[in-house]
Amino acid sequence: MDLTRFHAVFVEEAAEHIENLETGLLLLEKSPDDIELLNDIFRSAHTIKGSSGTVGLPDISRFTHVMEELLDDLRNREFPANEEMISTLLEGVDMIKEMIDAIRDETVFEFSRCAPLMERITALQGKQPVQQDTQQDSLQITAQPPENRLYLIDFLTTPDLFRQGTDPARLISELAELGQIESISASSDKVPPLSSLDPESLYLSWIIKLNTNASVEEIREIFLFVSDDCTVEITQLLSPEKELPLLGKLLTEEGVVSAEDVRQALSKQQKLGEILVSQGKISQAQISKVLEKQGMQKAESFKKSVSSSIRVDLNKLDHLVNLVGEMVIIHSMFQQVMNDFEGTETNSRNSKTEKTERLFSQLQRIGKDIQEGTMALRMLPVGEVFQRFARLVRELSTSKGKEIELVISGEDTEMDKGVLEKVTDPLVHLIRNAVDHGIESTAERIAAGKPARATVYLRAYQLGDAVFIEVEDDGRGLDRDRIITKAIANGVIQSAAMLDENEICNLIFLPGFSTADSVTDISGRGVGMDVVKRNIEALKGSVQLRTRKGQGTTISIRLPLTLAIIDGLAASVGNEVFIIPISSVVESLRPEQSVVHTVEEQGEVLNVRGEYIPLLRLSRILSIEPDKKDPWDAIVIVTHHENRKYGLMADALLGEQQVVLKTLGSATPKVNDIAGGTIMGDGRIALVLDIAGIIEKSRG
Amino acid sequence: VKYLINNSAQTGWTSPSNLLDRTKGLPMEERLKLSGELTICNIEELFETLKEALGQHQQLCIDLGAVEKIDTAAAQMLISAKNEAKATSISLSFVVPPAIKLWLKGVGIQL
């Protein structure tokens, strides 16, 4: 079988792992004890080894194996990583890079060049150099038989299989020819009782564990003729010797027992560990140590099996999202045409228009599904970013001499990749703040009767059309009085008399504000929370802060699910159409003349069921001649921004619609009150209002 | 195609009296002896035979001792018969010779 067609994929995939190896090794130099990091490095090496073997590149596989062994020793804490090891391993990474470059360029790499380096790496392990054949020196040779692998085959049949003349038993015997069927079970749940059985329908499905040196493709070939109707899922499990007697393999590797001992013990079908102890081959302590390792490996293999994905160029994805956006626009246009149709031909509605309408609504539904599916492509679980923070907190807590645990939850919450990338920096800031200012020193905590070990919670969840990310600490909370003193000293406020608790806390989001007494290397330079706030607001999100003195602080970030397509309310002012994002609309109403009041120096206000809200005339803010001069003739759209309501006055409401948000382009200077533009169903251009900007502008 | 299922019409059911002789103390049980090849080719016949047998007896033992060959369709039907028996509270058992047992094990089917 020709495996070369997989080489391009391998080259691309390997690049990422090589990068990971490289940065990992560099980090390892700084913290040689970081087991998480070592695991990560090991995983990358292991993946390179595994996938190179799979695509028929035994040289890379063999070379990486030597590196992997050294890494494994390091991981098992047999000895700490020293500088020499790290630089040798880095040399190894360079060597792999060269080999991979050779594959990409389709040139020949002399494998003998690896030999001296392989020897040096092996020497560092303190073991004998591995037997290797340096005569075989080009990449084409495949002397070593490929390793046996264990596959889980989920064979979901179609009822028609018998009628097509296929007996699944034949497929199973063909599978058996590929290797060893370790276990097979037919699921008979769907077989009905005789009275309702169709004798020529197949109801059984199979789950098969196959131990073979064949590739997934070779297995798939067996199912080739049935693949149109049946679902065949093939998953590679860990290699058999790792999968089954993991403890046994580890014990053998450690040199505690021989492989023969393990096999004998296994045949007795008791707990392997107990038997070996009772035979006096090892002590309970040794077992516990290895069992611990087994747990770790299991967790790892679990992690590995979780995600299966392909890599797609982000540009391609964005292009697709754009196209879907265009489709949404065409849909709106079509809708418009359909509506016009209806208007002119109400009495002559025939079956054709009805049919068209039905088809259109189907098309619309599919379009919506495609749109959602495409948007989902851009979504990533926040866990990928969150995991980094575990390391950050660990480092920070050590450098500050505080005992802090980071509790992460909601890693599966998905967010737009673009948003996720931009939210990382603010999160780093918030977490640093929590560790540096939020959490008290251990002594202080004990004096306050709190547990010495502090906790920082990092959680994410989705609520409606928004994703919330919260950073919570169980530290000292914000000091209200210190904020006030500082704010007055900085001239931010004159007195705190007018401010409520919430407003005082939110003062820390103002530029140049820091309550820390001393500037530390972590935070306290006064450029913090305002930057966080600005970054989040740039993502159309908002930041909220809750704090209780002595109990802790929670900062909650609200982010929209996506930025590209929004639900909007179309409203007209004069001849122009504007879109107001539905997410900030509370209600729309036409006020009675009696509820519109003018308050001196505050402008117009509206009494909405007893609540006074400021009335902002869009025509005035946007400098457009309105059709309606008085609020009681016009329409007021009540919006909310930062916990306050504002009534926006427009001439008329045109309806709700989904719009594709487009930037106005680089030629337009940044306008605060406009978030972007969109093309309406009738082909007109409408501007999408930025509520925060509008409110800002109304104040100025 | 070589077949067949032995049923009462051809080589006949083993008569109740015979059964009494061999399996003392289990008078109500009927033994259905199947033989030859049980495959998709004669699946309808097996279907009818099983339906008939299950419709007539409260206790039934299906004897596969003389079966030379079986395929998935037939094996599935035996499972179906078991399900039927369960649903109608009939006690059903199987006598499976080693060769068939091995085949069933090979395809992961449990009777």
pLDDT tier for residue A131 given thresholds of 50, 70 and 90: very low
Contacts of B81 in chain A (CB under 8 A): 194
Tens-place pLDDT, residues A463-513: 766 789 999 999 888 878 888 887 787 777 777 777 777 777 777 777 666
Per-residue model confidence (pLDDT) at position A684: 81
What is the SS3 assignment for A290? helix
- If phi over 0 gives left and psi between -120 and 50 gives alpha, with beta otherwise, what is residue A27? alpha
How many Cβ atoms are within 10 Å of B18's Cβ, its own excluded? 11
Asked if B69 is an interface residue toward chain A (Cβ–Cβ < 8 A), one would say no
pLDDT tier for residue A664 given thresholds of 50, 70 and 90: confident
Which one-letter DSSP state was computed for residue A669? P
The maximal CA–CA distance of chain A, rounded, in angstroms, is 98
HEC string of A464-501 equals CCEEEEEEEECCCCCCHHHHHHHHHHCCCCCCCCCCCH
pLDDT tier for residue B72 given thresholds of 50, 70 and 90: very high
**Cα A368 vs. chain centroid, distance in angstroms?**
23
Helices A284-306 and A35-54, packing angle to 10 deg? 60
Q: Do B108 and A208 touch (CB under 8 A)?
A: yes
* Mean pLDDT taken over chain A: 78
Nearest CB to B109 within list A173, A183, A186: A186
pLDDT tier for residue A70 given thresholds of 50, 70 and 90: confident
Tens-place pLDDT, residues A99-112: 888 888 888 888 88
Contacts of B106 in chain A (CB under 8 A): 169, 172-173, 176, 181, 184
* A288: pLDDT strictly greater than 50: yes
Higher pLDDT, A665 or A470: A470
Average pLDDT over residues A118-126: 82
Among A27, A9, A156, A166, residue whose Cα is nearest residue A89 = A27
Asked if A195 is an interface residue toward chain B (Cβ–Cβ < 8 A), one would say yes
**Cα A287 vs. chain centroid, distance in angstroms?**
37
Average pLDDT over residues A321-332: 81
DSSP A180-211: EEEEEEEE-TTPPPGGG--TTS---EEEEEEE
Contact call for residues A52 and A25 (beta carbons, < 8 A): no
Per-residue model confidence (pLDDT) at position B76: 94
Among A520, A521, A543, residue whose Cα is nearest residue A531 = A543
Nearest CB to A197 within list B77, B103, B107: B77
* A159: pLDDT strictly greater than 70: yes
Which one-letter DSSP state was computed for residue A107? -
Per-residue model confidence (pLDDT) at position A616: 92
Per-residue model confidence (pLDDT) at position B4: 41
- What distance in Å separates the CA atoms of residue A206 and residue A183, rounded to the nearest whole number? 10
* A300: pLDDT strictly greater than 70: no
Higher pLDDT, B8 or A686: A686
HSE (side-chain half, CA atoms, 13 Å) at A691: 27
- What distance in Å separates the CA atoms of residue A316 and residue A435, rounded to the nearest whole number? 40
Sign of CA dihedral A231, A236, A241, A246: negative
Nearest CB to A188 within list B79, B87, B103: B79
Question: Which value does ipTM take for this structure?
Answer: 0.78
Per-residue model confidence (pLDDT) at position B3: 39
pLDDT tier for residue A615 given thresholds of 50, 70 and 90: very high
Query: Which of A76-80, A248-252, A380-384 has the least mean pLDDT?
Result: A248-252
Q: Are strands A652-660 and A565-573 parallel, antiparallel or unpaired?
A: antiparallel
Tens-place pLDDT, residues B28-56: 568 888 888 898 888 999 999 998 888 88
Asked if A497 is an interface residue toward chain B (Cβ–Cβ < 8 A), one would say no
Per-residue model confidence (pLDDT) at position A583: 77
* A9: pLDDT strictly greater than 80: no
The chain A residue lying nearest B55, using CA atoms, is A195
The chain B residue lying nearest A203, using CA atoms, is B76
Helices A7-30 and A83-104, packing angle to 10 deg? 160
Interface test with B, best of A166, A194, A205, A226 (most B CBs within 10 A): A194
Asked if B89 is an interface residue toward chain A (Cβ–Cβ < 8 A), one would say no
DSSP A271-289: -HHHHHHHTTSS-HHHHHH
Per-residue model confidence (pLDDT) at position A295: 58
Name the minimum distance, in Å, from the CA of B17 to any CA of chain A: 28
Q: Are strands A585-589 and A635-641 parallel, antiparallel or unpaired?
A: antiparallel
Asked if B26 is an interface residue toward chain A (Cβ–Cβ < 8 A), one would say no
Collect all residues with Cβ–Cβ distance below 8 Å to B111 and sequence separation of at least 6.
Answer: B75, B78, B79, B82, B94, B96, B104
Highest mean pLDDT among A323-332, A497-506, B92-101 belongs to B92-101
Per-residue model confidence (pLDDT) at position B73: 92
Per-residue model confidence (pLDDT) at position A243: 40
Per-residue model confidence (pLDDT) at position A472: 92
Higher pLDDT, B67 or A304: B67
Contacts of B72 in chain A (CB under 8 A): 162, 167-169, 202, 204
pLDDT tier for residue A248 given thresholds of 50, 70 and 90: low
* A296: pLDDT strictly greater than 90: no
CA dihedral A343→A346→A348→A350, nearest 10 degrees, is 90
* A412: pLDDT strictly greater than 60: yes
Per-residue model confidence (pLDDT) at position B26: 42
* A41: pLDDT strictly greater than 80: yes
Nearest CB to A186 within list B40, B44, B107: B107
pLDDT tier for residue A405 given thresholds of 50, 70 and 90: confident
pLDDT tier for residue A360 given thresholds of 50, 70 and 90: confident
- What distance in Å separates the CA atoms of residue A290 and residue A583, rounded to the nearest whole number? 54
Helix residue spans in A279-350 (DSSP H): 284-306, 314-344
Tens-place pLDDT, residues A680-690: 777 788 898 88
Average pLDDT over residues A130-151: 50
Contact call for residues B52 and B6 (beta carbons, < 8 A): no
Per-residue model confidence (pLDDT) at position A698: 85
Tens-place pLDDT, residues A562-609: 666 677 899 999 988 999 988 788 899 999 988 888 887 778 999 988
pLDDT tier for residue A347 given thresholds of 50, 70 and 90: low
